[in-house]
Amino acid sequence: MNNLNDEAIKAQYQVVIGLEIHIQLLTESKMFSSDRAEYGALPNTNLSPVTLACPGTLPRVNKKAFDYAIKLGLACGSTITDVNLFARKSYFYPDLPKGFQITQDTTPICRGGFVNIYSNEGVKKKIPLIRMHLEEDTGKSLHGIVEDITLLDYNRAGTPLLELVTAPALTTGEEAYQFLAEIRKLVRYLEICDGNMEEASLRCDANISVAPKESNRLGTRVEVKNMNSMRNVQLAIAYEIDRQIARLEAGEPVIAETRNFQAASGETVSLRAKESASEYRYFPEPDIPPIWVSQEWIARIRRTMPLLPSAYFKKFVGVYGLSDYTASVLTENKAFAILFDELCQHTTHYTAAANWLLGPVKGYLNELSLSLEDFPLTVDRFVALITLVESGMVSFSVAASQIFPLLLEQLDATPIALAEQLDLIQDSDEANLKALVEEVLAAYPDKVIAYKNGKSGLLAMFMGEIMKKSQGKANASLASKLLEEALR
Ligand code: ADP
Ligand code: MG
């Protein structure tokens, strides 16, 4: 049923996707108690009577969680709500100790706003947001550790979540992937969430519907859960689109339900009928007073906002003249963007600096699974290395393969001292190089004629001889320029 090869049939349908993204906020304590919110602690160690919902305990609101929500709201151009009320959303589940979740129902902290996504061709699309609201997470049910028994870990119960809800404005799995990539980048730049989908600190549910293009109503929505990577979100959506179209083509209706994505098979399977809001019996949380977010509070957060990826991108292209592609790769990661920007305060070889970062530096970090915070080169030494190459003293390949690794080990060595010590400084003396070129051409008169008759491949052979004669020390780009001049 899912082998929907017929693109013509698919083209008759309009696909609509909205995402609900749960962002686990990096606060030290939980949303409504002072229990620690850290990830990965021993099961059931971050618990107090509040987390366990013992009678008589009362919630207290985490201010930092509000700070973080306001940060993301400002980054997305959302309106920040001034009077914030909390509500109880009731449902019965073993990992929900109170039997209800405290959440924001009618007064989400952020309303509206948008996030831009970019296709591989660089085309921009503005995805409107409906809302972001603060709430608490549930505990974790662990199946399969002890046979036939479900274990419960309440450490996560009560940790703060910011739920972001998009308008139904996405149309493909790729767009959903790009949207998630932008959100992950944003929360990491803002340092409000570690953005790790594999550890579930960023979670995504996808709502998908299809309808014939000529109908002007949206189709029945299916919610898909349990996708623990951006790639799986994309795959689950692609599967679900095909499944829904196949049903409609077969004359069967799409059923409003929640489905589970199964990574092993790449399929979605029915989990339960979709709950309606009335089943949750939302009602105002009586134990939390309205939280008033003043203009001063918002202004205070605004002052702490870092430069966002889009601002770095604009600067890298506009001020430093990088290509869109290089700028987008550099802004993928905040630490890279900051380091590049700093290097550019000390050198005007902007493109060279970018190439060093995206080549040798990235390669070194990837190989050892390190992050840029662990990178031992100071800005001064890094700039000296860039200058060594740009001034023509050492070729980039020699600097990258021989000097760079030593600089990482010998923290007091300078690039130029290492180049001298290892006898790596190349010959950039024009007179010397010219003499070398003449010598080589004189040794191969027949090849020179062949070259002039069109065997342009001989250029590499001449260069090889020049490098050999100079014992590898000739400044290759200068020598190649002189060689071409001599042959003209
Ligand atoms: P609920 O809380 O019941 O899941 P929400 O109003 O929070 O409902 O909406 C959830 C998501 O569903 C939103 O991202 C929204 O854009 C999306 N959505 C709403 N209608 C449709 C539809 N017909 N097709 C696809 N997505 C939809
Ligand atoms: Mg929802």
Answer whether 133 contacts ligand 1 (Cβ < 6 A).
no
CATH number assigned to the domain comprising residue 462: 1.10.10.410
Residue from 20, 106, 132 to probe ligand 1 pocket by mutation (most atoms less than 8 Å from CB):
20
In a domain, 415, yes or no: no
- pLDDT tens by residue, 2-51: 455 678 899 999 999 999 999 999 999 999 999 999 988 999 999 999 99
> Which helix (H) or strand (E) element contains residue 269?
strand 267-273
Q: 21, 133, 165, 224: which to mutate for ligand 1, most atoms within 8 A of CB?
A: 165
Given 246, 281, 296, which residue is the final one in a domain?
296
For residue 127, being part of any structural domain is answered with: yes
- Can you give the pLDDT at residue 388? 94
> Among candidates 150, 108, 136, 184, which has minimal Cα distance to 27?
136
Q: Kindly state whether residue 70 falls inside one of the protein's structural domains.
A: yes
Give the total number of structural domains in the chain. Answer: 2
Q: Looking at residue 274, what is its pLDDT? A: 76
In short, whether 256's Cβ falls inside 6 Å of ligand 1 is no
383 lies in a domain?
no
Asked, for residue 46, whether it belongs to a domain, the answer is: yes
Percent of the chain with pLDDT over 90: 84
Structural domain of 88: 3-296
**Is the residue at 366 inside a domain?**
no
pLDDT value, residue 488:
84
Sign, Cα dihedral of 374, 377, 383, 385? negative
Token pair 């190989």 is found at 367
CA separation for the pair 305, 470 (Å, rounded): 55
Q: The tokens of 124 are what?
A: 């921009």
Ligand nearest to the CA of 240: 1
CA of 18 to the centre of ligand 1 (A): 6
Residue 62 is assigned to a structural domain of this protein: yes
Is 20 close to ligand 1, i.e. is its CB under 6 Å away?
yes
- Determine the distance separating the centroid of ligand 1 and the alpha carbon of 268, expressed in angstroms: 18
Helices (H), 214-279: 230-249
Domain boundary among 278, 296, 314: 296
pLDDT in tens, 54-95: 999 999 999 999 999 999 999 999 999 999 999 999 998 899
How high is the pLDDT of residue 113?
98
Give the atom of ligand 1 at the shortest distance from the alpha carbon of 218.
23
Residue 372 lies in a domain: no
Ligand 1 pocket: which of 131, 170, 207 to mutate (most atoms <8 Å of CB)?
207
394 CB-contact burial (10 Å; exposed 0-12 / middle 13-18 / buried 19+): buried
Tell me what the mean pLDDT of segment 217-240 comes to.
95
Asked if the model's pLDDT at residue 1 lies above 80, the reply is: no
For residue 181 and ligand 1, the question of a CB distance below 6 A is answered with no
